[in-house]
Every structure is written in C-alpha cells, then in structure tokens.
Amino acid sequence: MHISVIGCGYLGAVHAAGLAAFGHDVVGIDVDADKVARLAAGQAPFFEPGLADLLAAATGSLRFTTDLEAAAGCTVHFVCVGTPQLPGENAADVSHVEAAVEMLVPYLRPGDVVVGKSTVPVGTAEALLAELRGACPGVTLVWNPEFLREGHAVQDTLHPDRLVVGLAEDGDADHARAVLREVYARPIAGGVPVIETDLATAQLVKAAANSFLATKISFINAMAEVCEASGGDVVQLAAAIGHDARIGQQFLRAGLGFGGGCLPKDIRAFMARAGELGADQALAFLREVDAINLRRRVRMVDLARAECHGSIVGRRIAILGAAFKPDSDDVRDSPALSVAAQMSLQGAEVVVTDPQAIDNARRRWPDLKYAFTAEEAATGADLVLLLTEWREYVDLDPHELGALVQRRRVLDGRNALDPARWRAAGWTYRALGRPLTEARSS
Ligand code: UDX
C-alpha cells in the first residue's frame, strides 16, 4: 500500500519505519527540515533503541520529505503530529492535528482513509470527520491510537499488544475496516488482537490506558508517603501486593514519579475534556494522581536538604539522569530536571549528567551545569542523586564513585540501587518511601 505519515516525531518516525517493515511504501512528512534530512539519511533524530536499524532496513520503501504534496497518490494517511498541553491550561492543543488534516485535503481522493494516531480529546475525531466529509466526499477517517513507549517504540510498533480501530458509524466503515486490516496484515497474521470500536471509544481507550498507568504509579507513590510517615518500606510493600495476579508487579515502582510527553499532559487533557462534557466528577481523582506525582519532586528536594543538614545553598549536588526515563533522550516534563532546577534555584551548585539527554536538557534549562559522565558530575559532590535509572548508573561501582565525591551520600530517587551494596561501600543511602534506618531497608 502507498501510505503517508504526517508528523515524524517520537511517534511518526517509528510508525513510518514500522509500516515500511510491514511491506508498505511509505512517505514520512514533517515541517522540520532538519529532522527530515536526518531521517532521509537513515539517522534517528532522537534516541530510540533499534530505530536506526529499522530505518536502514527500510531503504527503498521509505522516504522522508517536508513537501506535503508527497501525500498525493497515497491511499492511507496517518496523522501523527503532537497534541501538547496548552500553555496555562490543562487542555490539549489539537491545532496541529486540525492543521494536518486541513492541509491534506487537496491531496485526498475518494476512497482514501485518514487515520488519526495522535492522542486527542474525545470528540476531536468526530469533528475532523465532519470537516472531511464536507471537503472531500468519499474520504473517511478512522481513529487508531498509539500505545508505544519511548525506549521500546520499535518493539511496540512491530509487535503491539493490541490494535484499536475506531470506525465511524456510516457506509464507509466496511471499506475503512478492510483498509486497516490490510495496513496491519503482518501483525494481525502474527496474532495481534484487533479491537474495533466506534470513534469515541477509540479516542477514550488511549486516555483511559494512560490514566490507569498514571494512577498505578501515583498509588504506589502515595503508599511511599505513608511508608515515610510510618517507617514502612514501599519496595517490600510493592513486591508483596504485586504477587496478587490481579494487581501485578508492573508499574508499581515507587520513586520520583511519572513525566514525559504523554502521561502528565494526557491525564490533564482528559480531566479538561471531561469537564467540558459535564463529567468532571468522574475524573476528579486524576487531580489527586497529578498532585501525588508532583509532590514526589518536592519531597526529593526536601530529602536532599535534610541530608545536607538543613541547607543546600552552595552544596555541590551531582544529579544522575536528565531524561524523563531511561533509554530515552526526551526531557519533556522530566522529574529529574524539575528537581535539578528547583535545587539550583534554591542555591545549590547542581551538576547534571545523562547518557543521551544532555543536549535536550541544555536547550530547555541552559542555566544548569552539565557533565558528560557520572564520574565527572560526582567529582567533589556533597550529595549524589539518582533520578533516572539508566542501567549504567544502576551498575556504577560505589567504591570507585566514592573515591571521587566529597561526601558519600546518595539519594535514590528511583529505588533502583542496591542499598546494601552502597552502604557496604561506606555510603549513606536514602530513598523515597524507604525507612531511614540502615538495617531495615538493606
Ligand atoms: C506512556 C505509555 O506507557 C504509552 O503506552 C503511551 O502510548 C505513551 O505514554 P512513555 O511516556 O514512553 O509511555 O513512558 P512510560 O514507560 O509509560 O513511563 C512513564 C513515566 O512513568 C516515566 O517517567 C517512568 O519513569 C515512570 N514510571 C513508570 C514510574 O515512576 N514507575 C513505574 O513503575 C513505571
């Protein structure tokens, strides 16, 4: 099939390469000339394990351009542009999605299918479909939300857990259904389940999935707060409740909480939309989910201050991690950078390091100091904070790092280090949601 993909960010670039891997002829279109040039040269414009290999494998059936006219002749058009949070509001900015569909119109022909993948407030697809019907009769729209995780995006694209296809209830549904089944013939043949829904449900599935994940993280972080107040150990608690198959072990890692370009803004946009629909009470709990999440960042700074005997002014603080999570260079709403910035504003001498995200971090927070390695960041440090659990930080040798720091004090913001190992190397180890006494949490 000839397919266009509009928007080549974290979602669109991987999706375009994935579609090529499924055997289609794909053109990725983006307004960012630099990004397009890099993709066209087979380079991933952001850190995503496996993406460069996927791009290399697709040579011949995948191209990238800034020219929307390249969509002409394609029969399926995926919309993968961003829906960021509106400044000063909870609601999502869907103007990029609206603009993408509007700009596609001159290149659409009867029988074409426009496929929305971006995360949008429920009701957006219905409005876009109404416009499309007016502007180009015979063209239909389906909603096919993405669920890919950064750092696992290639795997999640090639082997998704499920495919959700939201179809308009009209005469075009059978055609659209057949087209989507052809697009995803490869994964469907591999056994991936397809859930066909109406348009509203498809948009809601994504908001519901991310809300559930965010709630699970904030639940365990709320338990961490109670553990801190009572002397309990949230790591043991999570392991114990996770043995119940109904609860499960995943997404129960207590720590600094969630960030990134999706979870925080998606739960806020969901609340905002529910408010517009008169269903705000139903999602009032998400306000608490958000608040618990943001409180963890404040708690981390408080813990650091306590470790420095009441003041971080002038203290050299090494921060390991800038990305919102490991295996990504994405710093959007990064908890690590939020803590780094708060500490810097409060007078600490903060040095941040990250294996992949320094350039992005520097663009967003140019006033912070950066180091290229953990060793460089830790040299002379009064306190070391692990805020993004990159494998190489978890594997650090506490003896070797201990030789570089001023004081052997580490705060584990992700409950990722082995307390016994660090304590045995002479470090004072503290973590969110764990007892302060050494014997009980080691
Ligand atoms: C998320 C969803 O997982 C994905 O399905 C959706 O399509 C986009 O949003 P992503 O933003 O890549 O994906 O990150 P995810 O792996 O879900 O992690 C989100 C945040 O939660 C990270 O900051 C991570 O550090 C944090 N997290 C995750 C925890 O604090 N504890 C956990 O147990 C798991």
Residue 411 has pLDDT above 70, yes or no: yes
Task: List the CATH code of the domain at 2-192.
Answer: 3.40.50.720
pLDDT band at 170 (very low <50, low <70, confident <90, very high): confident
List every span in the chain annotated with CATH 3.40.50.720: 2-192, 205-442
- Going from the Cα of 263 to the center of ligand 1, the distance in angstroms, rounded, reads 7
- b/e for 351-373, b at 16 or more Cβ within 10 A? bbbbbbbbebbbeebeebebbee
Query: Which tokens is 414 given?
Result: 């992700």
Residue 26 DSSP code: E
pLDDT digits (tens, 9 = 90+) for 298-317: 999 999 999 999 999 999 99
- Going from the Cα of 361 to the center of ligand 1, the distance in angstroms, rounded, reads 19
Pick the CATH number of 205-442 from 3.40.50.720, 3.40.50.300, 3.40.50.1000, 3.30.460.10: 3.40.50.720
Q: Are 17 and 39 in contact (CB under 8 A)?
A: no
CA distances for 398 relative to 217, 263, 283, 284, 317, angstroms? 28, 33, 44, 44, 16
Catalytic residue status for 227: no
Nearest CA to ligand 1 atom 14: 149
Q: Which residue has the tokens 């650091």?
A: 304
Rounded Cα–Cα distance for residues 29 and 100 (Å): 10
Residue 438 has pLDDT above 80, yes or no: no
Give the pLDDT mean for 343-364.
Answer: 98
Ligand 1 pocket, 217 CB below 6 A?
yes
Nearest CA to ligand 1 atom 6: 147
Relative to the CA of 150, which ligand 1 atom is closest? 12
- Going from the Cα of 221 to the center of ligand 1, the distance in angstroms, rounded, reads 14
Nearest CA to ligand 1 atom 23: 258
pLDDT digits (tens, 9 = 90+) for 211-227: 999 999 999 999 999 99
- Going from the Cα of 340 to the center of ligand 1, the distance in angstroms, rounded, reads 20
Ligand 1 pocket, 264 CB below 6 A?
no
Ligand 1 pocket, 360 CB below 6 A?
no
* DSSP letters for 244-270: STTT-STT---SS---SSSHHHHHHHH
* DSSP letters for 77-100: EEE----PBPTTSSSB--HHHHHH
Cα–Cα–Cα angle for 203, 54, 323, nearest 5°? Answer: 65
Nearest CA to ligand 1 atom 31: 253
* Alpha carbon of residue 440 to chain centroid: 34
Ligand 1 pocket, 10 CB below 6 A?
no
Q: Residue 412 is inside which H or E element, if any?
A: strand 409-412
Looking at residue 171, what is its pLDDT?
A: 83
Nearest CA to ligand 1 atom 7: 147
Relative to the CA of 255, which ligand 1 atom is closest? 30
- Going from the Cα of 304 to the center of ligand 1, the distance in angstroms, rounded, reads 25
Ligand 1 pocket, 132 CB below 6 A?
no
Rounded Cα–Cα distance for residues 81 and 434 (Å): 41
To the nearest whole percent, how much of the chain has pLDDT over 70? 99
Residue 355 has pLDDT above 80, yes or no: yes
Nearest CA to ligand 1 atom 26: 258
* DSSP letters for 166-223: EE-SSTTHHHHHHHHHHHTHHHHHTT--EEEEEHHHHHHHHHHHHHHHHHHHHHHHHH
Relative to the CA of 256, which ligand 1 atom is closest? 30
Nearest CA to ligand 1 atom 18: 258
pLDDT band at 440 (very low <50, low <70, confident <90, very high): very low
pLDDT band at 442 (very low <50, low <70, confident <90, very high): very low
Relative to the CA of 214, which ligand 1 atom is closest? 21
Find all residues with CB under 8 Å of 180, minimum gap 6, and list them.
113, 115, 142, 144, 163, 165
Q: Which residue has the tokens 């380079």?
A: 43
Residue 53 has pLDDT above 50, yes or no: yes
- Going from the Cα of 251 to the center of ligand 1, the distance in angstroms, rounded, reads 8
Question: What are 317's strand-pairing partners?
Answer: 350, 383
Give the length of the chain. Answer: 442
Mutation choice for ligand 1 from 83, 85, 148, 149, CB with most ligand atoms inside 8 A: 149
Q: Are 96 and 23 in contact (CB under 8 A)?
A: no
Angle between helix 199-230 and helix 234-242 axes, rounded to 10 deg: 130
Nearest CA to ligand 1 atom 15: 149
pLDDT band at 144 (very low <50, low <70, confident <90, very high): very high
pLDDT digits (tens, 9 = 90+) for 258-308: 999 999 999 999 999 999 999 999 999 999 999 999 999 999 999 999 999
Ligand 1 pocket, 289 CB below 6 A?
no
To the nearest whole percent, how much of the chain has pLDDT over 90? 97
Q: Are 193 and 162 in contact (CB under 8 A)?
A: yes
Catalytic residue of the set 8, 136, 262, 308: 262
Query: Which tokens is 7 given?
Result: 């928007």
Nearest CA-CA partner of 74 in 179, 177, 4, 176: 4
Residue 439 has pLDDT above 70, yes or no: no
Mutation choice for ligand 1 from 203, 325, 334, CB with most ligand atoms inside 8 A: 325
Rounded Cα–Cα distance for residues 75 and 63 (Å): 16
Terminal alpha carbon distance of the chain: 57
Q: Provide the mean pLDDT of the chain.
A: 96
- Going from the Cα of 390 to the center of ligand 1, the distance in angstroms, rounded, reads 14
Looking at residue 441, what is its pLDDT?
A: 41
pLDDT digits (tens, 9 = 90+) for 113-124: 999 999 999 999
Residue 54 has pLDDT above 80, yes or no: yes
Looking at residue 437, what is its pLDDT?
A: 62
pTM of the model: 0.96
Nearest CA-CA partner of 393 in 332, 325, 344, 439: 325
Looking at residue 302, what is its pLDDT?
A: 97
Query: Which tokens is 80 given?
Result: 């993968």
Ligand 1 pocket, 145 CB below 6 A?
no
